[in-house]
Amino acid sequence: MIQNKSLKSLNTFGFETVARYFSAPDSTDKIEKLLEEVQKNDIPVFILGGGSNVVFSKDFDGLVMCPQIKGMETVDENGEHVLLKVGAGVAWDDLVRYAVENRLGGLENLSAIPGNVGASPVQNIGAYGAEVKDSIVSVNGIFVEDGSRFSLENGECRFAYRNSIFKNELKGKTVVTHVVYRLSKNPVFKLDYGNLKSELQKYSEVNLHNIRKSLVSIRADKLPDPGVLGNAGSFFKNPVVEQREAKRLLELFPSMPVYPADYSDISTGKVKLSAGWLIESCSLKGYRENSIGVHHKQALVLVNYGGGTAAELIRFSQMVQNKVHEKFGVKIETEVNII
Ligand code: EPU
């Protein structure tokens, strides 16, 4: 374990915080040994992936563990599918690129999302009409408390919009070591979200490769590159509300966008509003206070222009939440995990 490690380069906002201990184990055995040590010495543990969805509000008086297990292995295959077991430390977009290059479908709409494979089931990452839950077979890991290993099947992970068992009942209790994905040899393309179809018109053929290229370009156009401008993608979740609540708002704001809460289950009776639209409608798009602001192209994204602190960001985000609540009576929750 390294002591007093700066986390500045390990969170995409670029905030300066320090972890009392730090380790980047590259195997399940090493993680097991570390957990044994921290349990013996009663040291709190925080599992950090790519740092693209986390804000440390203060120094962490414990062990920050950054699993670096690499590797992708085909564990089963038939005429239709490939089951691929992937290490938690593989960069998410390396996996998507690998799948597309090998003509395997299912992940292409999730192109260019920052972060690591280990975080994909925790957040149930999603974009452009796809969610990773639709491709996950199982999640393997280790329980922090007693070092025992587990494998949870898809149905046991309680996936929902940007949510899973790992953010609820098992919050802080597990280290994901591997994820098994089912990828399709005969992919069905999902092209209905946003301007994906029109972007694809630039290409002569609709295939995995061109879908990926289109999405990389759409995202680069709208979302700031964390390497250039500190941010963590969507800072807030899109709020899910009862239909009658949406109806009340639509009478007041007829142009408000409304989507089904769950495309795979429209029977929930709930609908999703667009937090970006709500924030923009409070005239906050592009608004800035010192080093922290709302991005000028996508109001769901908060940015650190440099030199900002986590405390400033948290204060700023509460101001945004309050403005939206005052105007619409809707609570927007943070998607980013504040530690
Ligand atoms: N909108 C605005 N103003 C804005 C942003 C959005 O009016 O500043 C409205 C527009 O009506 C637009 C609609 O919101 O048509 C949807 O916008 P967009 O397609 O940009 O998606 P989003 O709902 O704002 C979600 C995800 C993104 C993901 C996109 C595309 C969440 C919290 N965010 O954003 O995910 O890339 O859809 O699928 O669900 C992330 O999680 O970090 C992330 C970037």
The pLDDT tens digits of the residues spanning 92-125 come to 999 999 999 999 999 999 999 999 999 999 999 9
Fold of 72-184: 3.30.465
Nearest Cα to 130, choosing from 94, 73, 177, 184? 184
Which atom belonging to ligand 1 lies closest to the Cα atom of 281? 7
Looking at residue 266, what is its pLDDT? 52
Nearest Cα to 173, choosing from 193, 152, 201? 152
Query: What three-state secondary structure class fits 333?
Result: coil
- Mean pLDDT (the chain) is 95
Query: Could you tell me the pTM of the whole model?
Result: 0.93
Question: What does the pLDDT average to over 159-174?
Answer: 94
Higher pLDDT, 32 or 261: 32
Report the CATH number of the 230-338 domain: 3.90.78.10
Q: Is 174 exposed, middle or buried (0-12, 13-18, 19+ CB in 10 A)?
A: buried
Question: How many other C-beta atoms are found inside a 10 Å radius of the C-beta of residue 228?
Answer: 7
Looking at residue 260, what is its pLDDT? 79
DSSP 293-323: EE-SS-TTEEEE-SS--HHHHHHHHHHHHHH
Looking at residue 264, what is its pLDDT? 53
- Confidence class for position 268, pLDDT limits 50, 70, 90: low
Q: Is 241 exposed, middle or buried (0-12, 13-18, 19+ CB in 10 A)?
A: buried
pLDDT in tens, 52-104: 999 999 999 999 999 999 999 999 999 999 999 999 999 999 999 999 999 99
Which atom belonging to ligand 1 lies closest to the Cα atom of 223? 44
- What does the alpha-carbon distance between residue 332 and residue 315 come to, in Å, rounded to a whole number? 15
Query: What three-state secondary structure class fits 115?
Result: coil
Question: What does the pLDDT average to over 220-239?
Answer: 94
Given a contact cutoff of 8 angstroms between Cβ atoms, the answer to whether 257 and 277 are in contact is yes
Instruction: State which of 263, 300, 337 you would mutate to test the pocket of ligand 1, scoring each by most atoms of that ligand within 8 A of its C-beta.
Output: 300
Cβ 163 under 6 angstroms from ligand 1: no
Looking at residue 194, what is its pLDDT? 86
Question: How many other C-beta atoms are found inside a 10 Å radius of the C-beta of residue 143?
Answer: 14
Looking at residue 308, what is its pLDDT? 93
Q: What residue ranges do the domains of the chain occupy? A: 2-65, 72-184, 230-338
Fold of 2-65: 3.30.43
Q: Which amino acid is at 109?
A: N
**Largest Cα–Cα distance of the chain, in whole Å?**
61
Instruction: Quote the radius of gyration of the chain (alpha carbons, Å).
Output: 20
